[in-house]
Amino acid sequence: MTIRWFGKDYHLIALIATLVIAVLGAQLARFLVLPLPWLLGATIAVGGLALAGFRPGGEPLQFPINLRVFFVPIIGVMIGGAFTRELLGAVPQWWPTVLALLIYVPVAHALSYTIYRRIGRYDREIAFFAAAPGGLIEAIALGEEAGADPATLTLLQFSRLLLCIVIVPLAFTLFEGVAVGSAAGVSVGGVDRPPMDIVDALVLTACGVLGYLAFLRIGFPAAIITGPILFSGLAHLAGVTSAQPPAMLIAVTQLVIGATLGVRFATMDRSQALKGLLMALISVASVLVLALMFGLTLYGLVGETAEAVVLSYAPGGVTEMTLIALSLQISVVFVTLHHVARIVITISYVRVAYRLLLRFSGKGRAADDGVE
């Protein structure tokens, strides 16, 4: 039996099984007091079983990826609720870490490119665009135009995001020596805000929908979350509302995001997926060490903690990294600003750098440095 959703047929048993696995994974993560249990638990449980080839009802695990469109803006609306005049007053002093991204992005890209090219032995186009530390969709599109295999490129770029949302919060927990953020009972929602009434609900819904559509139309990076962030932030700063989405809705949102991340492994070749995960792990670990070096060097210049700078430089997605910031009680405005800047700088850099690479290597897809 199938059900048609978002223009695609889904096997009902597999769809229900995926949702049940996501919920059970989240509950297990809560029991184990992991950070961001609804997000990490669902991602690891669904992704692990998908990669293992689990096929309920004879079908692979499946979940509508497009469902994210209805939930990710909720995270943006919630982040915008953190905007205060006092917090925004600190923005001018953050310029050193924003400008440092102009150095960080090329170094991080070169580091990952070397790993994918020399250790992973991927061809030049795959290695170059997989190494981009941001802009998953844009990097895949540019890579495909350049002749890179889109399936392999998607695997490596997606693995970067997945590994970041697993490694970063666990690393913070290990570093602190105790459970942090949501694992320690910290709510990701606005527990100190007044209850949301119907007017607040309408305002926040409008912020999410209009913010997404407006930013999508102008082609702004990560429009699905950056648009709602700005619109919600302006609404809160203007005093139109002081409410936040309820905690249960935030939990469901994280569950959906986790399930949509995990099911991407269902259609991947297992051996290639494992190789890609290993290479991405080496790449992400190396770039996180680089982010740590930048964080320890720069945090004193911007009045934030080293943890905040490291999280702002971590090569994860805007949605996932800001969720982690909320969980860890780190300034979400600081983190979001840097991640949006990282994506813009990365895509601009990759476009220019690839043209230069072709120019100085004689163009085409000829072997470079003897590796093919």
Phi, psi of 4 (to 5 degrees): -95, 125
Q: Report domain extents, the chain.
A: 71-255+270-360
Q: pLDDT tens across 44-90, in order?
A: 899 889 888 899 989 999 999 888 889 889 988 987 887 777 767 77
Least confident of 188-202, 267-281, 282-296, 337-351: 188-202
State the pLDDT at residue 83.
75
Q: Which of 127, 166, 182 has the alpha carbon at shortest distance from 149?
A: 127
Q: Which of 185, 168, 207 has the alpha carbon at shortest distance from 78?
A: 207
Task: Report yes or no: 60 and 300 within 8 Å, Cβ to Cβ.
Answer: no
State the pLDDT at residue 267.
76
Task: Map tokens 């003897």 to a residue.
Answer: 370
Q: How many residues does the chain have?
A: 372
Q: State yes or no: pLDDT of 249 exceeds 70.
A: yes
Q: State yes or no: pLDDT of 316 exceeds 70.
A: yes
Q: State yes or no: pLDDT of 119 exceeds 80.
A: yes
How far CA 245 is from CA of 20, 191, 249, in Å, comes to 24, 10, 7
What mean pLDDT comes out for the span 105-113? Answer: 97
Q: State yes or no: pLDDT of 155 exceeds 80.
A: yes
End-to-end CA distance of the chain: 46
Burial 151-187 (b: 16+ CB within 10 A, else e): ebbbbbbbbbbbbbbbbbbbbbbeeeeebbbbbeeee
State the pLDDT at residue 362.
62
State the pLDDT at residue 368.
41
State the pLDDT at residue 177.
63
What mean pLDDT comes out for the span 148-160? Answer: 84
Q: What is the 3-state secondary structure (H, E, C) of the chain?
A: CEEEECCEEEEHHHHHHHHHHHHHHHHHHHHCCCCCHHHHHHHHHHHHHHHCCCCHHHCCCCCCHHHHHHHHHHHHHHHHCCCCHHHHCCHHHHHHHHHHHHHHHHHHHHHHHHHHHHHCCCCHHHHHHHCCCCCHHHHHHHHHHCCCCHHHHHHHHHHHHHHHHHHHHHHHHHHHCCCCHHHHCCCCCCCCCCCCCHHHHHHHHHHHHHHHHHHHHCCCCCHHHHHHHHHHHHHHHCCCCCCCCCHHHHHHHHHHHHHHHHHHHCCCCHHHHHHHHHHHHHHHHHHHHHHHHHHHHHHHHHCCCHHHHHHHHCCCCHHHHHHHHHHCCCCHHHHHHHHHHHHHHHHHHHHHHHHHHHHHCCCCCCCECCEC
Q: pLDDT tens across 156-189, in order?
A: 988 898 888 888 888 877 876 655 545 544 445 4
**What whole-number percentage of the chain has pLDDT above 70?**
90
Least confident of 33-42, 111-120, 297-306: 33-42
- Model confidence at 191, in pLDDT bands (50, 70, 90)? very low
State the pLDDT at residue 192.
52
State the pLDDT at residue 15.
94
Q: pLDDT tens across 20-31, in order?
A: 999 999 999 888
Task: Map tokens 């648009």 to a residue.
Answer: 227
Task: Report yes or no: 62 and 267 within 8 Å, Cβ to Cβ.
Answer: no
State the pLDDT at residue 182.
53
State the pLDDT at residue 193.
58
State the pLDDT at residue 145.
81
Q: pLDDT tens across 321-372, in order?
A: 877 787 777 888 888 889 888 988 898 898 889 888 888 776 544 434 433 3
What mean pLDDT comes out for the span 221-246? Answer: 87
Question: Residue 178 corresponds to which tokens in the numbers above?
Answer: 């105790």
